[in-house]
Structure formats: C-alpha cells, structure tokens
Amino acid sequence: MAAAARRAHVVLFPFMAEGHLAPFRCLAELARRARPGARVTVVVTPGTAGPLRASLAADGLGGDVGVHALPFDPAGHGLPAGAGIASHQLITLFAASESLRPAFRNLVAGLRAADPGADVHVMADMFLGWTLDVAREAGASHSAVLTTGGYGAAVYFSLWNSVPLPADDAFPLPPFPDVTVCRSQLTDHLAAADGKDAWSTFVSKQIAAFAHTDALLVNTTENLDPKGLAMLRQLFDVPIYPVGPLLRVTPPAPALGAKNRGAILGWLDKQPPCSVLYVSFGSQYTISASQMMELAVGLERSAHRFVWVVRPPAGSDVDGEFRPEWLPEGFRERAEAGGRGLVARCWAPQVEILAHAAAGAFLTHCGWNSVQESLGSGVPLLGWPLSAEQFYNAKVLAEEMGVCVEVARGTRAALSGEKLAAAVEAVLGDTAERAGMRRRAAEMREVIAAARESGGEGSSLKVMERFFADVVHC
C-alpha cells in the first residue's frame, strides 16, 4: 500500500476511574503529536464523556480528539451513578466493564467498515483485557496501557501470577528473588487469593492479554524506572514502550471545589520556600476516621506548615458532606488562625501546589499519577500506600530512588501522631535526610523534564513515534 494511503484511527479506551482517565487524556494528546494525521477517539461511558470533552476543548484539542460514549448503566450492576466508587466496589466495576463488549465491538467494526484502507489500533487500559479479542476479530492491532509505573506493575502482576502467596511476614517475589515483599504490602484480596476467587480470575485474564497483545505502553520513562521496565520485559515477551510520564503540560481546568484555588495559592505565596507539606490521598482512596484523627494530631505536633485535602473517611459516602467530628475539635480553626495550615475539602489544585516554590514535601498514597506530578516538580514524598501497586511504588521510591519516607502502610495502619511528626521533621526540618532527598528529587525532576521534551531520543514523543512505526505501521 502506498505511504499516502496509510491512514490510522487510534481508539483509546481507559478504565472507568479518574486515576486512569487522566493519563489517557494525556496519551490522546501524545498520539496526536506523534501522528498528526491520525484520527484519535477516546472511548468512555456517559458519566465521564462531558467532563472529558470540556477538558479537551479547554486545551484546544476538541477538534482533534473525538469522544465516544458507550452506553453503561451503573445501577444495573449495583454501582452508584456518580464518580464515588468505593474501593470494595472495584471488583464489581471490573466485572461490569465487560458489559461494554458488544457496543465496543460495533464501534471498532464500524470504523473498519467506514474506512477499509485505514489501520485501526486499539490502546486499551490494563484492566480491559477483553478488548484484545474485539480488536483481533476486527483485524485491528492492539496495545495494553499500563497507567502505573514499570516497577509497581511488575511486582503487582507477579504477585497475582503467584497466588496463593506464602504466609510468611516477608518472602522473595517469584520470579525476582532479589525483591522481597512483606505481607503488609498486600491488599486483603491479594493476601487471601487462592487462584479461584473473583479477583484472581479477573487479574489472570488481564495477564493473559498482556502476553498476547502487540505491545505494552507504560506510563513511565526509561531513566526514571529502569529496574521496573527490565522486570516487565522479563515477564512479558512483547515490545514495551515507556511513553510516560503522561502528565499534563498545563494544569487541568478548575473542577468542583475550584473556588478554593485562589485562596490556597494566595496562602502559599506568603510561605517560605520548600516549607509546606501537601497532604492528599487521591481521588479513589481514603483513610479511616481514626487515622484522620491521628494524622491531624501529627500535623499539629510537627509545627510545620501544611495544606491538607480532606475527604470523607473510609466507610462513608465518598461524595457526601464532610462532618466536623472527623477531625479534632478546633483543629481547622487553630491551623488557619495561626497561619500554619489550610484544610481544603475534597479538591485542591494539586499540580499547581506541587509546582509552587513553597511546596516542600508531599504526603501521598503513592498513586503513580501523584508520584510523577510530585517528582516532576522535584518534591520529595512521605508515603502512605493504601492499595494495589501503591505499596510497590512506595518501595521503589524509598529503596531505589531515595526520595520517599514511608510513614504508614495500608488502610488499617496504626499511625501515631508522634511518628508522623518525626517523619515530617525529617523531610521539612534542617536535616541531612531532607537535603539528600531534595537533591535526588531534583535529579528525578530533570529526568521527567527530559522525557517531556520533544527532541530527546528517550522522550515520550520519540518513543510514541517509534511505537507507531513498529506496531501501527503508519
């Protein structure tokens, strides 16, 4: 076929959770930059179609990236209609995603029929392994997108591939005996998995898809995550392309709670450089009410400045109102009256906070989006992983990169205010540990900056261009 006739239609299909939608939005932009002539469509469900279209339009991509909503009825699967999916409902959402198969099959088949000469390529989320069969049926190529880093994904899927796991407090990770995993780094469903339970059944399907897809796209860069990428290449005998970091060049448009933005940034403008601890556990996970109490005690005891994004605790309606009794009496008033801290409810401009000169450290659940946003601004981390591969992100950040101090682990961690205050002092006080972490975080910032530049051979753009040439042939 003549080169001029080699057209491409790239269909991106993220999983239905904010932590997956955000990197896919960046992936759509990257695909457009790598192949300006390709048609790009992001497949979503009705609940996220509107916000995604608005986000694309705000960044001038509304005419370049299409959005296609597949019909989906959350209530029919026993799920809430809003974005507030509790962590215990994730396996239900995973199973429910397979109900999208018929509508997705019709979409891909329609694209092939409408333009038989085009190369259709499906970039699907790592939790949508069933899309591989749909792509094969339609004669389309397929890649699986790991929205995590390489190390976190390699450890996470290696563990699932090895269930049931040893009952020891610590054990070597098959097939990587130099990596030790603690049982405290396992979620409950992974610790209890026997290979026949719902979680095991679901994850094994995804691992099988990884082994037969045309490529794995990973949300990381070679120089940031060399060990993790080497482990993935050992696990899966398919081409692997580190197309990250999938971070927005400009901050996202203001969202719910954006009225706080000006107040938070204005307060940060008055703080000394590198003096503020930013605290947030992401959009999916929360800590318990008792843990919130201890966290508040630790923040007060530390005497360091902070901005804390609070959400309803675990077991509560994640979209509900915040109740004052979830924090120590007078905590917010004391912090704000003394000018030492801000408590923001549900939302804060995270990217702008981390990029601010006053940001000194980030207490985080170690979700990979948050990790890359923090390191992209050279901000060290305090880790409190809560689920999934977050435990292994915290592990590599602390043990390999030296940019993180883990302060707690899991949803039942018995955090003491005294321990937290000591950890905050280590990263914000006048300590040798702080100086070393800031130096290494600054090195990671340069690595991420190089990957985001368009000219370097290891940049995300160059890697994506190689992917198109190798896999999509356009």
Q: How distant is the alpha carbon of residue 10 from its chain centre? A: 22
Name the band, by pLDDT with cuts 50, 70 and 90, for residue 200.
very high
Q: Which domains does the chain have, with CATH numbers?
A: 7-249+454-472 (3.40.50.2000), 259-449 (3.40.50.2000)
Q: How distant is the alpha carbon of residue 172 from its chain centre? A: 26
Q: CB under 8 Å to 103, separation ≥6 — which residues? A: 70, 71
Q: CB under 8 Å to 325, separation ≥6 — which residues? A: none
pLDDT of residue 303: 87
Tell me how far CA of residue 65 lies from CA of 21, 90, 431, in angstroms.
14, 28, 48
Q: How distant is the alpha carbon of residue 304 from its chain centre? A: 28
Q: What percent of the chain has pLDDT above 70?
A: 95
| Mean pLDDT confidence for 369-379 | 97
pLDDT of residue 3: 43
Name the band, by pLDDT with cuts 50, 70 and 90, for residue 322.
confident
**Structure tokens given for 161:** 């591939």
CA angle 313, 316, 322 (to 5 degrees): 65
Instruction: State the chain's mean pLDDT as an integer.
Output: 91
What span, in angstroms and rounded, lies between the C-alpha atoms of 139 and 132? 11
Q: Under a CB-based contact definition with an 8 Å cutoff, are residues 350 and 379 in contact?
A: no
To the nearest 5 percent, what fractions of the chain are helix, strand and coil? Answer: 45, 15, 35
Quickly list H helices, 223-322. 226-235, 259-269, 289-302
Task: End-to-end CA distance of the chain: give it in Å, rounded.
Answer: 11
What span, in angstroms and rounded, lies between the C-alpha atoms of 96 and 100? 8
**Residue 253 pLDDT greater than 70, yes or no:** no
What span, in angstroms and rounded, lies between the C-alpha atoms of 363 and 33? 34
Helices (H) and strands (E) in the chain, counts: 18, 15
What span, in angstroms and rounded, lies between the C-alpha atoms of 358 and 190? 39
Cis peptide before 245 (omega within 30 of 0): yes
| Unique residue bearing structure tokens 């990596």 | 179
**Residue 80 pLDDT greater than 80, yes or no:** no
Name the band, by pLDDT with cuts 50, 70 and 90, for residue 2.
very low
pLDDT digits (tens, 9 = 90+) for 436-455: 999 999 999 999 999 998 77
Helix or strand or coil: residue 23? helix
What span, in angstroms and rounded, lies between the C-alpha atoms of 142 and 80? 31
Which DSSP helix (H) or strand (E) runs through 369? helix 368-376
Q: Half-sphere exposure (CA, 13 Å, Cβ side) for 17? A: 26
Tell me how far CA of residue 215 lies from CA of 81, 207, 273, 433, in angstroms.
34, 13, 43, 40
Most confident by average pLDDT, 73-87, 249-263, 294-308:
294-308
Q: What percent of the chain has pLDDT above 90?
A: 71
**Structure tokens given for 281:** 């556990």
pLDDT of residue 6: 65
pLDDT of residue 82: 58
What span, in angstroms and rounded, lies between the C-alpha atoms of 411 and 315? 11
18-34 and 368-376 are packed helices; what angle lies between their axes, rounded to 10 degrees?
Answer: 60
What span, in angstroms and rounded, lies between the C-alpha atoms of 423 and 446? 26
pLDDT of residue 235: 96
**Residue 417 pLDDT greater than 80, yes or no:** yes
**What pTM was computed for the model?**
0.93
pLDDT of residue 16: 86
DSSP tag of 185: G
CA angle 126, 130, 132 (to 5 degrees): 85
pLDDT of residue 259: 66
What span, in angstroms and rounded, lies between the C-alpha atoms of 354 and 375? 9
pLDDT digits (tens, 9 = 90+) for 96-127: 999 999 999 999 999 988 888 889 999 999 99
pLDDT of residue 256: 46
pLDDT digits (tens, 9 = 90+) for 281-319: 987 788 999 999 999 999 999 989 999 999 888 878 766
pLDDT of residue 291: 93
Query: DSSP letter string over 30-85?
Result: HHHHH-TTSEEEEEE-HHHHHHHHHHHHHTT-TTTEEEEEPP--GGGGT--SSS--
Of 291-295, 319-323, 389-393, the one with minimum mean pLDDT is 319-323
pLDDT of residue 88: 75
Q: How distant is the alpha carbon of residue 442 from its chain centre? A: 21
